[in-house]
Amino acid sequence: MSLIVNGKEVAYKKQETVAGLLNRLQFTFPLIIVKINGTLIKKKQYETTIVPDNARIDVVHMISGG
């Protein structure tokens, strides 16, 4: 049981939410986009969306600047 997060294998935890996964992997940037198996997850859904086993997760840090 595992996940692929940004191309790296990560241990799967049963019933873990997107917010829990981000916290566990120490993604702390305020502007983050998350996709699970190619589907964009809205930020307001991070606390309620359960990460499925064997999922491919892309976490992208948005950088602002000028």
Q: Is the pLDDT of residue 2 over 90?
A: yes
Kindly report, residue by residue over 4-26, the tens digit of the pLDDT. 999 999 999 999 999 999 999 99
CATH number at residue 40: 3.10.20.30
- Residue 19 domain-assigned? yes
Kindly report, residue by residue over 32-61, the tens digit of the pLDDT. 999 999 999 999 999 999 999 999 999 999
**What domain range includes position 10?**
2-61
What is the enclosing helix (H) or strand (E) of 22?
helix 18-24
- Residue 66 domain-assigned? no
- Residue 11 domain-assigned? yes
Q: How many helices (H) and strands (E) does the chain have?
A: 1, 5
Q: Please name the residue that has the structure tokens 């969306």.
A: 49
| DSSP code string of 37-56 | TTEEEPGGGTTTPBPPTT-E
| Number of domains composing the chain | 1
- Residue 13 domain-assigned? yes
Considering the entire predicted model, what is its pTM?
0.90
